[in-house]
Amino acid sequence: MKIIINYVVLILLSFFAIESKAQDPIFTQFTLMPETLNPGFTGFQYNWRAGLLSRRQWIDGNKAIDTDFGFINKMVSDHAAIGMTILNNREVFTKYNFFQINMAYSYKVEIDYRWVFRPGIEVGYGRKSFNFKNLLLEDQININTAAINNTSVDLGVQNQNENINFFDISAGFVIDNEDGWFGLSIKHLTRPNISFLNENNIPLDLFFSLHSGYAFDIDGLPSSLFPDKTKLLINANYMRQSQFNRLDVGTALKFEALTIGVNLVTNPEGKSINSHLITSINPYVSVHFGDFNFGYSYDFNTSKIGRMQGIHEMSLTWQLRFCGTCLAKVNKYYDYSK
């Protein structure tokens, strides 16, 4: 009986979570794959570039939440770049799924010989799906025999829309020079209705992100600790969606073929007395080989919210390094050049 009650509670919690305000997935490796942040990064590194990122939260069986992201982009002229991004988010236990595909465009404007301004836009199609027929309602459970009935008197819940389709637009810009970058993006400008209930209207909340990165050369320091071409990277990413907010700050050592870094996830605007300033510590490593870069990160939870098992992320990025026609300037953070 206790098992059945726990099962019902989990189902109900899952149902209400779907009807609550949705939050966009956030990736630890945003500096390795900046296309997750801002359409202004479309074609940022000029030549053909593509990547895949896979994220698993709460890896223990049915509690897992899996998120995958993929992209491809390229500069197609001296100023214009095009690309495509795909996002898929699914919950193992509830079978809830969120899918979105976007076409991206950015335009490079040279402010002067050092600074470049890159506005960008993403336009796409989104789809949410949830099988309401899998819900187990109270009147389907016989508390005396623990038997489960196949039907319920509340047909309204089990006959809700199982799929929602919507149109979405996001926009942003990036300003960069040879040492670093700064950007701002706003997602879900169309505020699409994401409610599964026909009579409800739940607009998807705007997602704001303010982000930056900077690179320091440290291979010239009078020390034998660091090899040639070593850089110190720093980054920050402030995000807000509805009442939720988050600030990631991080640093990394970038060697010629290896990057080792760590991000701190903070809650700068704690909404309650139980809020934690630092909610997780996220170390990551990336290895560069040829035209490929492999990244791995693990999020260590530091809050007291249950027995969370952390989050694994793996990424693989491909970038064609040689480009005889690309008019690129050197950027220390991402190591692109002519």
pLDDT score recorded for residue 14 = 40
Q: CA nearest 80: which of 107, 115, 59?
A: 107
Instruction: Tell me the one-letter amino acid at 212.
Output: S
Q: CA nearest 201: which of 211, 209, 193, 210?
A: 193
- CATH number, span 2-319: 2.40.160.40
pLDDT score recorded for residue 268 = 80
pLDDT score recorded for residue 10 = 38
Domain ranges of the chain: 2-319
User: 10: part of which helix (H) or strand (E)?
Assistant: helix 2-19
* Cβ count near 253 (within 10 Å): 14
Contact 249, 235 (CB under 8 A): yes
Contact 36, 30 (CB under 8 A): yes
pLDDT score recorded for residue 49 = 94
Q: Which two tokens stand for residue 129?
A: 């799906």
* Cβ count near 322 (within 10 Å): 7
pLDDT score recorded for residue 204 = 87
Q: Which two tokens stand for residue 214?
A: 């900077």
The tens-digit pLDDT sequence of the chain (338 residues) is 333 334 333 333 344 334 444 578 999 999 999 999 999 999 998 889 999 999 998 766 667 889 999 999 999 998 999 999 999 999 877 788 899 999 999 999 999 888 999 999 999 999 988 766 666 555 556 566 655 666 555 555 555 657 888 999 999 999 999 899 999 999 999 998 877 776 678 888 999 999 999 999 886 666 657 777 889 999 999 999 988 899 999 999 999 899 999 999 998 876 666 667 888 999 999 999 988 999 999 999 887 665 567 899 999 999 887 555 555 555 677 765 43
CA atoms of 329 and 10, how far apart (whole Å): 53
Contact 309, 297 (CB under 8 A): no
Confidence (pTM) = 0.82
Contact 335, 319 (CB under 8 A): no
pLDDT score recorded for residue 306 = 56
Q: Which two tokens stand for residue 153?
A: 């008197």
Sign of CA dihedral 236, 256, 42, 129: negative
CA atoms of 23 and 89, how far apart (whole Å): 11
CA atoms of 314 and 284, how far apart (whole Å): 10
CA atoms of 155 and 165, how far apart (whole Å): 23
pLDDT score recorded for residue 176 = 93
CA atoms of 248 and 237, how far apart (whole Å): 5
Give the CB-side neighbour count of residue 291, counting CA atoms within 13 A: 12
pLDDT score recorded for residue 320 = 84
